[in-house]
Amino acid sequence: MNIITIDGPSGSGKGTVCHILASKLGWNLLDSGALYRILAYAALQEKVALDNDLQLAELALNLKVAFISNGAGVDTILNGENVGDKLRTEVVAESASKVASIQVVRDALLERQKAFYQEPGLIADGRDMGTVVFPDAPIKVFLDASAEERAQRRFNQLQNKGFDVSIAQILSEIKERDFRDRNRTVAPLKPASDAIEIDSTSLTIDEVVSQVVDLVKLKLNLAVK
């Protein structure tokens, strides 16, 4: 199966690189972080406690979610409402990281993630794409960057959107979330044993994309525009 998994911590560039690759290759895209964010958002809305394993798993199994391409990007529809912008807050990110540490929650989202595979291929963005969800993927990338660089990128991103944010606060939130994601017992953030590690701290987005494109040409023997 043509699958490229890209795992890594927040702000390493996964989302950006995955969107570019999906468009270059014409492959489907799984933003698995969005599923954890949607679940967290739904739990906050429905006042389900973030440590109530069984109720969260039930909510995860029954989420009515659709990702609909709108030309410029993807609209995320939860129960008929476009919730895209509401998922990007730090409260939702932190809550997502908390619900994501629960085994039954991850189990409940597993089949939904696998179902994103469709011909001619899939780009999967997350934390455990190469280790748990698609362990047989022929190309696995672990994308990283220093915490300071990742905080700077988030800072620029949020400032461009008009948010009044502090870099020190973003850095501490990033470090806290990474620590939880890397140290949880279920599906922790770590490179698969057969992943290629790319440190993007001093690479441009184009340089990262071009490294992955080279892997696609080499390992899958595909022509890429």
Chain positions contacting ligand ADP, by CB under 6 A: 8, 10-16, 153, 157, 200, 203-205, 208
8 is in an annotated binding site: yes
Q: Radius of gyration over alpha carbons of the chain, in Å? A: 17
Quote the strand ranges of 52-210, DSSP E.
65-69, 74-78, 81-82, 122-126, 139-144, 196-199
* Minimum distance, C-beta of residue 172 to ligand YYY, in the bound complex (Å): 14
16 is in an annotated binding site: yes
Name which of 123, 127, 118, 134 is nearest 20 in CA terms: 123
* Minimum distance, C-beta of residue 222 to ligand ADP, in the bound complex (Å): 23
* Pick 2 or 157: Cβ nearer ligand ADP: 157
From the list ligand YYY, ligand ADP, none, which binds 200 (C-beta under 5 to 8 Å, kind-based)? ligand ADP
From the list ligand ADP, ligand YYY, none, which binds 96 (C-beta under 5 to 8 Å, kind-based)? ligand YYY
Separation of alpha carbons 133 and 127, rounded Å: 10
10 is in an annotated binding site: yes
* Minimum distance, C-beta of residue 165 to ligand ADP, in the bound complex (Å): 13
121 is in an annotated binding site: no
Separation of alpha carbons 173 and 97, rounded Å: 11
From the list ligand ADP, ligand YYY, none, which binds 23 (C-beta under 5 to 8 Å, kind-based)? none
202 is in an annotated binding site: no
* Minimum distance, C-beta of residue 55 to ligand YYY, in the bound complex (Å): 18
Q: Distance between alpha carbon 86 and the CA centroid of its chain, in Å?
A: 16
Q: Distance between alpha carbon 95 and the CA centroid of its chain, in Å?
A: 14
Separation of alpha carbons 10 and 28, rounded Å: 21
- The annotated binding site for ATP is made up of 8-16
